[in-house]
Amino acid sequence: MDPSQPPVGEAAPLEPPPEHKVYVPYRNLRAIFENEAATVFLPFQEYLRLWEHTWRSITRPADQPLVSGLITAAEYVAHVEQDTARIQATLSVQVLQKGWAEIPVKFGGAAIGTVSSEPPGVLLRGTGQGTYALLLSQPGQTTVQLELAARVITSPEGRSLVLDVPPVAQTTFELVVPEADQAIDIQPKLLQLPVEAVEKRSRVRAGLGSVEKISARWNPRAGAKPDMELLASATSAALIQVEDGLIHADVFFTIEVLRGNVEQFRIAVPKGHRILDVTSEARLREWRVSEEGLRQIVTLDLLSRTGGKIAVEVHTERPLGEEPFDAVGLAGETAHGIHLLDVLRESGQVAVRSAADLTVTPTLQQGLVRIDESEVDARIKRPGAAFYKFYNPNCRLTLAARPVEPRLLVDHRADVSFTQDQLRLESELVYTIERAGVFELTFKLPQGLTVENVACEGLKQFDVSADKALLTVSLKERRMGELTVRVTALRQRDPAAEAAGFPIPVLEPQNVELENGWLRILAIDAIDVITDTDQIAGFQPDPAADPQVASPLRLVSAWTFNRRPVNLPVRIQSKPTRLTADIGTILDVKQGQIQAVVHLVYHVDFAGLDTFRFAVPESLADRVQIQVAEDGGPPIKQKSRSAEAVDGFVTWTVVLQREALGHVRLRLIYDLAPQAGADTSQTYRAGLVRVLEPFDSADADVRKRTIPVSRLTGEVTARKDKALSVAVTATGGDVEPIDVRELLGLPQDGFVAFRYFKQPVELEIAAAKYDVQEVVQTVISRGLVEVVLDRAGGAMFRGRFVIRTSERQRLAVDLPKNAEPLGVLVDRKPAALEKNPAGAAQKDWDGYYVNVARTKSSDEPFTLAVMYRLTFASPPFQQGHSNTRPLQLPIIGGGATNDVALQQLRVAVWVPEHFALVGTPPRFTPECRPSWRSILWGQPDRQACLDELQRWIGDDGGGLVDFPTEGQATVYTNLGGATEIVVWWWHVPWYALVVSSALALIAVVLRNTRWENKLTLVLLAGLIAATYALQDADFVWHGLLVSSYGLVAMAGLWLIHGLFGRRRMPRPGSPPPAFPAAVIPPPGVFDSVTLGLQKPQT
């Protein structure tokens, strides 16, 4: 901050803090303090305060006062009223300048009641705890009056008053005590001023000067009262215990004789107390009791006069009545508690304790305060007691004792279930029992309910009153804490009364303080429970109810309640029976017969049903088997058929042992016989089972007569023997063919499926036997042939195959002619390779047999590994720089290719370094090829691809004969198999030299041409390469590899020439090029030209 600039804003003068923080080095303090140029550190806020104070001192005008105002005189008059002192403060304030002046004042813990001034207009602002500021707007003299209130402190040494005041040059303090002949001491006191005496009061006035705190202490003057009251004080500790119908009082007095000796004490005891004993550490001559008004006086005579501290104990008891009783206090001639008489002062503590079965509460508390257990005298400290403290016996504590009532809190969960014949109430009540235990619990029963069972821990018995209105649950022992009671009650349903409406029955626990209830209404599907919302009382909907209920019930509604009485009126409506059916027919077509299994599933909703009817073709009526499927419902009671057929169908009636609700599953089994016809083809015609209404329309019972089958879903599927050709045709109803994967109630293993929703439906089935067809005997799922070509003209072949074949003894294998077999493995075991006497099926091949006898079944695959060496008449890599070579592969199964199926064949070919296989062989696809780095520089990098080949063929495809490899590998794949692969190889260094040199030469020739021409040639070459890559991408890729050096040279040469090539400069002395001369047209040429502003002449 610049010292030449004034501080921002002019603040009111602040009182400097009493303490400042200055940071100095802690070493060489003497040298630091003696050096005036030493540097110190202080907080920035402190620096700003010092700077503002200095700036105001510098910039203050000479005629401006240092302060805006001050208090010239203060007068305080304090009147003591019991434990409070009311103080009238008069302040003389002088304002020294115009405008608002702020004068800070403080009064500590004193409370300010009213503020007035003369002249008026003074405001009081609070600035902190116990600190204020007077705001005055008028200059000159102002008198401010404040009414204060402060607490009077009472102690064994006397009573005192402490008051914080603002420091003023002239301070006067006057104290008036409402007791005569009191010794008053005021600190600090410079000068005591004379005052007029007041009757029955003590008054003192003193001039104090400039002070910040005034303290006054007063006590009675010595010799004004009897010796005992003046010279002795007492503290008491009273223990009040209420138990066993009695009130026990044990009071412990500690008497301190302040001056002189004492030989007698008097103790006031309430009337009605039976004094059990009085003891003291001092030697007692006797103690006697006398009645005096509304109290008893116990007089203790000592053997001799005693001083110092004296301990006295008083023990009493009295019967406990129903009315409240007093525990402590002394009022005139009436003793409410046990207290000492004729002492200067008495203070004490009271502990009130009751038995566990009683509760004691104060009904009147005057002059006492509650204290913590840590402050209580150890002689009266008891667990669970209430502790009080008083400072003089002019107090009163009245207590009321009553037996502890148990506090019952209940969480009530009730389920009301409506079944076909009963209303069932299941209530679970979780009690929380506090304060006192209980031996029994009572419940109010709803009208008409019969208690079925009561369960709880420690249950002794439960009783229901004669009028069935009250349930009493008795326990084996007194219980506290948490207790769960489960009550189950029921009553028979009255449909007529329920249709008119009735309230939901809810159990009501008695004598509970708080009840939180949850009610769920459950019903079967056949019943609708309708709530009359206009008459609901005490219930609220429960959105978070548990939806889980036991079948066949469902959750209708859920409610909560927390107050009584409650009312939830409902009406009951019964739903008629709803019947639907699913019928699934499975036809198993075999040679000579069809076995039919019909799964008939009835869905009974709302009301139970025990009778079901269906119709079967007349030709099957006597052969059909009817049974209840597993978990399909009640057992069958009766099965009967109609005497006569109707439209070619016979009706069967099945009656169950009881009514069923839900799913009823019946299973019908019968066989269909073919119609007469040819031996090679058989025809079956039959109608499907029809579902009928459960009762005849002529039934006398109207309820039964009105139960139709509301929905029918039928599915049909057919399975067949593998040796049969079966055709199924469905007619009638709305039957339609579907995919077997669309079947919902039947297995999806058939070959044909139908679905219908209307009856009747008929089927026609034609079955014919297949002729025997030959099948493939050998299947090769995976085959891997590895070929290593060397420069000497030889090739090493290894073929590994995963085979599944029906051959059990020998398997034909054809190898290229003049091949030298090295080993054969079957499932990693060596096997002999036998010459086929009949030879190979194809020319240029040799036929062999391999023994494939094994312990596996014919359905399990096995591995076959064949290794052989083949020497070419002309070495392939010694005939120029490029050539093609067919490589003959082993043929599994011999030449009879119709008996062998090869699914996937992969061939890996190794060529020597600096050679590469180019192009795509016929019927093969390249999988992975060597990179340009491995081809040009001879660094192999095909290990990952070769490792994948080994994982693909499997670990069991290896052999015991070592198979060395060298050079670069290229992998091809084929689907369907091949007997040979034709590969085309290049000598890469020679092709790279020729092609790269040609590209470099082209670059030199075209170096002076324009960039447009160069880029056009490059794009044209790229287009040709991309177009040819659609036919043979492998050839284009190898072409790019061998031309990579030339392409780099071409790009570098053109770039260097473009950047550093010299431009053609004119020769010295040659004239500059002439500009073309301007051509000026002759006059009149543009006369006939118009600018479009005139119309053309015609």
* Per-residue pLDDT reduced to its tens digit, 881-897: 888 888 888 988 876 55
Considering the domain architecture, whether residues 838 and 785 belong to the same structural domain is answered as yes
CA–CA dist 98, 108 (Å, integer)? 30
498 inside domain: yes
List the structure tokens of 687: 């109608």
433 three-state secondary structure: strand
List the structure tokens of 863: 């591995």
**Element spanning 994, H or E:** helix 988-1005
Q: Which residue intervals of 317-374 are DSSP H helices? A: none
pLDDT tier for residue 1082 given thresholds of 50, 70 and 90: low
pLDDT tier for residue 556 given thresholds of 50, 70 and 90: very high
Q: What average pLDDT does range 260-281 have in this prediction?
A: 88
Residue that is last in its domain, among 769, 801, 822: 769
49 three-state secondary structure: helix
Considering the domain architecture, whether residues 183 and 329 belong to the same structural domain is answered as no
Considering the domain architecture, whether residues 252 and 390 belong to the same structural domain is answered as yes
CA–CA distance from 294 to each of 291, 327, 333, 579 (Å)?
Answer: 8, 15, 6, 92
- The pLDDT tens digits for 601-618 are 999 888 888 899 999 998
Q: Mean pLDDT: which of 647-656, 809-818, 1015-1024 is highest?
A: 647-656
List the structure tokens of 744: 């919902």
Of 157-171, 210-224, 572-586, the poorest mean pLDDT is in: 210-224
What is the number of structural domains in the chain?
Answer: 7
40 vs 273, residue with greater confidence: 273
269 inside domain: yes
Q: What is the mean pLDDT of the chain?
A: 83
CA–CA dist 106, 915 (Å, integer)? 108
1074 inside domain: no
Residue that is last in its domain, among 194, 220, 246: 220
CA–CA dist 134, 105 (Å, integer)? 7
HSE-up (13 A, CA, CB side) for residue 187:
7
* Residue carrying structure tokens 């008795």: 474
List the structure tokens of 166: 């603002």
Considering the domain architecture, whether residues 374 and 511 belong to the same structural domain is answered as no
691 inside domain: yes
Contact yes or no for 1054/1060 (Cβ under 8 A): no
Considering the domain architecture, whether residues 488 and 596 belong to the same structural domain is answered as no
Contact yes or no for 629/611 (Cβ under 8 A): no
Of 449-458, 691-700, 795-804, 975-984, the poorest mean pLDDT is in: 691-700
Contact yes or no for 451/490 (Cβ under 8 A): no
- The pLDDT tens digits for 658-708 are 888 889 999 999 988 887 655 567 888 888 999 998 887 665 455 555 788
Sheet holding 681-687, edge to edge: 681-687, 762-769, 724-731
What are the DSSP calls for 874-885, one per residue?
S-GGGSSSEEEE
Considering the domain architecture, whether residues 518 and 621 belong to the same structural domain is answered as no
The residues with which 456 forms a beta bridge, in sequence order, are 485
CATH code, domain with 687: 2.60.40
pLDDT surpassing 50 at residue 77: yes
Considering the domain architecture, whether residues 921 and 1033 belong to the same structural domain is answered as no
Range of the domain at 1002: 991-1059
Contact yes or no for 101/69 (Cβ under 8 A): yes
User: Strand runs (DSSP E) across 221-338, as ranges?
Assistant: 232-243, 246-270, 274-280, 284-292, 295-319, 325-331, 334-335
Considering the domain architecture, whether residues 430 and 505 belong to the same structural domain is answered as yes
948 inside domain: yes
Considering the domain architecture, whether residues 559 and 591 belong to the same structural domain is answered as no
613 vs 224, residue with greater confidence: 613
- The pLDDT tens digits for 719-749 are 988 878 888 999 998 999 999 999 998 999 8
Considering the domain architecture, whether residues 372 and 439 belong to the same structural domain is answered as no
pLDDT tier for residue 312 given thresholds of 50, 70 and 90: very high
CATH code, domain with 975: 2.60.40.1730
DSSP 374: G
Q: What average pLDDT does range 940-968 have in this prediction?
A: 72
150 inside domain: yes
Considering the domain architecture, whether residues 441 and 564 belong to the same structural domain is answered as yes
Residue that is last in its domain, among 956, 987, 1018: 987
pLDDT tier for residue 809 given thresholds of 50, 70 and 90: confident
pLDDT tier for residue 651 given thresholds of 50, 70 and 90: very high
1007 vs 391, residue with greater confidence: 391
What pLDDT is stored for residue 29 in this prediction? 62
Q: Which of 329, 397, 395 is closest to 363 using CA atoms?
A: 397
CA–CA distance from 994 to each of 138, 188, 912, 934, 1035 (Å)?
Answer: 115, 123, 20, 19, 17
List the structure tokens of 789: 């070509």
Q: Are strands 422-444 and 470-492 parallel, antiparallel or unpaired?
A: antiparallel
Q: Are strands 368-370 and 569-574 parallel, antiparallel or unpaired?
A: unpaired
pTM above 0.75, yes or no: no
Considering the domain architecture, whether residues 394 and 412 belong to the same structural domain is answered as no
